[in-house]
Amino acid sequence: MDYQAVAKKVLERVGGKDNIISLVHCMTRLRFTLKDESIVDDELVKKTKGVMGIMKKSGQYQVIIGNEVGGVYKEICKLGNFQNDSKQQSNKSKEKQGIISTILDVISGCMAPVIPAIIGAAMIKVLLTVLPMMAILDDTSQTYQLISVIGDGAFFFMPVLIAMSAAKKFDTNPYYAVSLALIILHPNFINLMNGAKEAGEVVKFFNVVPVTYASYSYSVIPIILSVWALSYIERFVDKITPAITKNFLKPMLVVLFAAPIVMVVIGPLGSIFGDMLSKAIYFIHDKLGFIAIGLVAGIYPFVVMAGMHHAFTPIKLSMIATVGYEGFICISEFCTNMAQGAASLAVAVKSKNKDLKQTAASCAFSALVAGITEPALYGVTVRLKRPMIGACIGAAIGGLVGGFFQLKSFGVATPALVTIPQYIESARPMSLIYMLITAAVTIAATFVATYIIGFEDPIDEDEEEEIDNNSIKSPLNTGVKIDCPIEGVVVDLSEVNDKTFSTGILGQGVAIIPTKGEIVAPFDGTIDVFFETHHAIGLRSDEGVEALIHVGLETVNLQGKYFTPMAKVGDKIKKGDLLLTFDLEAIKNEGYDTVTPVIISNSDQFMEIVKTKNESITQLETILTVV
């Protein structure tokens, strides 16, 4: 992959560096926080060579690159100075979620950053299974014990890792957060609580306030709730502490207030909540048996797409810590990963597109061998749509087989062919054969289903560009007149103080300094896009002219304040129909530039866009002519 070329195109197609607030990346995605998502052409971004797909979630515009995301990220950073500053993102509109979705989103958000540490530790545990089987390492040796400590450290001290990411999630001091985790994992505290439990006694603060017994090693939910509470405690203490004493009194009070609350209330409640979450999940398994594994395996890709898959990690960890194994979620995940890999493999075999064959083969290897499925999911199955059906069918069949064999996982390493040893049951040698059968059935069923269902083979971007460059771009309809949608003063687009508009990236047109807060339809047609913050409208005329009307600069940050929509996406419109009203003076008072670009967003399909007015203009006067 040419990282520099991909970076340049992606940056250009998300609106340029001036449209980017911040940029970070995870294992497979570039995660942009944009000033204005409405100006981005999603389809153009998706068609960029090297891009596997996009996702919009929690205020982020996510561009899926795959395993080579790090290289692209570095090249983009060379083109612009981007920062990962959560405070800069506070103005972004947030998705409305129900309480269950919010809880799962918080758990997932706190879990995601620590996944690399968990994977590393889990893979070491896989080694501890494989090496004794190969007679390379004696499981009674000191070396085995030392490696066991290395593999178990991240799990035992899981609350410490989670505390760091939760502190960032809740915008509180990470060192206070880690201190809370270390307190509840302190050997003296553990020994005190275990001793009291064995003796049938209750530990009490000041001989009055009881401390409920709970085990916090390997846990996730208690520390997330604790850090959430800490964020409020820290702000409260900061308000009541005199400035002259802040450097020593504030830290003492924060820890002194937070630690007992965590020990007495939040920690035990977190343990109870975690148990309830586990019971709710396994209730399904208890009722449906092995059928539940097949069902979950079939729908699990959509859980991954929602970004909620990490929320299951604490449940798996809790189950393994309690009974020593997990036989529901882990098996479903394994079958899902195998299915995504097999579907990609089928695409690689059947496709005639050179780039897609290479991409799909790489995605197949990543999913099957390493268990990293996002490249396959976003780069192949979701992108081509029909292979997703084959993957779901194959995963469900494999899940039924794995559930029938009552397979178990004794670790949480990423489900993949190389981690099959974690599914081997020492007292049940046939478990290895059953696991291999499950993998083979899943892969075969998915491959056949995907191959039969087929997919639409895409045109390579380079070929498409060559076709576009060599063909005559005849206008859809010559002489189309575009009337002015807003009353005001006409200025050249080049005078707009935003390079995304002034440089013509989005297309040719004009800008209007409005004198009245009304937008009307400039032609007969349809509303294609009406951004959720109502500051931008995308229209399509009956002749095929696409227009973007963008009220003000950076007005997306108002989150819909002062804007009143009078129509909606999909509405048929007639020239002069009122589409939007807005409080012009209020927007000015908020400090926003109200200049309103009117862009022909498919300008490249026409020979010329002619501006017909250079002065004050009223609504429905002709402002542009498409030639």
Cβ atoms within 10 Å of 440's Cβ, excluding its own: 13
Closest CA relative to residue 162, chosen from 152, 151, 150, 154: 154
Pair 217, 200: CB distance under 8 Å? no
The residue written with tokens 């929320």 in the block is: 311
Could you confirm whether 392 is annotated as catalytic?
Answer: no
Question: How far are the Cα atoms of 43, 172, 258, 543 from residue 471, in angstroms, in the given order?
Answer: 21, 57, 69, 21
Residue 580: both structure tokens together? 């939007």
Position 496, amino acid: V
Position 78, amino acid: K
Rounded CA separation 510/508 (Å): 7
Rounded CA separation 291/403 (Å): 7
Residue 419: both structure tokens together? 């981690």
Closest CA relative to residue 53, chosen from 333, 285, 388: 388
The alpha carbon torsion through 75, 304, 329, 110 (nearest 10 deg) reads 60
Residue 457: both structure tokens together? 């083979």
The DSSP annotation for 243-269 comes to: GGGHHHHHHHHHHHHHHHHIIIIIHHH
265: left (phi over 0), alpha (psi -120 to 50) or beta: alpha
Outline where 289-418 has alpha helix (H).
Answer: 290-305, 313-323, 329-350, 354-365, 374-376, 382-384, 386-404
Cβ atoms within 10 Å of 189's Cβ, excluding its own: 16
563 backbone dihedrals φ, ψ, rounded to 5°:
-110, 135
Rounded CA separation 594/614 (Å): 18
Catalytic residue, candidates 26, 110, 392, 484: 26
Pair 164, 184: CB distance under 8 Å? no
Residues 6+ apart with CB under 8 A from 285: 292, 293, 328
Task: Return the exposure string of 313-337: e unless at least 16 CB atoms fall within 10 Å of the residue's CB, then b.
Answer: bbbbbbbbbeeebbbbbbbbbbbbb
3-state SS class at 358: helix
Position 514, amino acid: P
Rounded CA separation 150/142 (Å): 12
Closest CA relative to residue 62, chosen from 356, 374, 312: 374
Q: Which residues are catalytic?
A: 26
